[in-house]
């Protein structure tokens, strides 16, 4: 079973940057589209960005456009979420997720939590002065 591990979260001041990583053990991440979700306290989990197996990204959250980017390094078997100009409303737990066939390589128009069956444990991002 695909196991995902997020890292890179932490406490950062508004306007700062963080880069989150999503890594996998025993599986090749290049065979999967990867979605970053986030969940703020008291809110539902929402899709942020997706990257397909060809390296093409899909935006889900208007609030992060122009600030967050997604990329993948197939040599390092890792997907990254670069977050710049962070705001307090970006605070939350960030998860990477993937799903099995037949849509495992695609980023769909919507990121629905229930469509994904492989999840990491999450990494906490806190934006505060």
Please list the pLDDT of the chain residue by residue as tens digits (129 residues): 889 999 999 999 999 999 999 999 778 899 999 999 999 999 999 999 999 999 999 999 999 999 999 999 999 999 999 999 999 999 999 999 999 888 899 999 999 999 999 999 999 999 999
Q: How many CB atoms lie within 10 A of CB 13?
A: 10
| Number of residues that make up the chain | 129
- Per-state percent for the chain, helix, strand, coil, to nearest 5: 10, 45, 45
What single string gives the DSSP state of each residue in 30-59? GGS-EEEEEE-TTS--EEEEEE-TTS-EEE
What gap in Å lies between CA 69 and CA 19, rounded to an integer? 10
Question: What's the DSSP call for residue 85?
Answer: S
The confidence score (pLDDT) of residue 51 equals 97
The confidence score (pLDDT) of residue 26 equals 78
The confidence score (pLDDT) of residue 27 equals 84
């Amino acid at each position: 079973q695909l196991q995902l591990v997020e890292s890179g979260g932490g406490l950062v001041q508004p306007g700062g940057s963080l880069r989150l990583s999503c890594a996998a053990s025993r599986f090749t991440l290049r065979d999967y589209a990867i979605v970053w979700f986030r969940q703020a306290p008291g809110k539902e989990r929402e899709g942020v960005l997706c990257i397909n197996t060809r390296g093409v990204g899909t935006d889900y959250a208007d609030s992060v456009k122009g600030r967050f980017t997604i990329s993948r390094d197939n040599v390092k078997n890792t997907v990254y979420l670069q977050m710049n100009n962070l705001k307090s409303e970006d605070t939350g737990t960030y998860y990477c997720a993937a799903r099995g066939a037949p849509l495992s390589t695609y980023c769909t128009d919507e990121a629905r939590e229930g469509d994904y069956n492989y999840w990491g444990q999450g990494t906490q991002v806190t934006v505060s002065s």
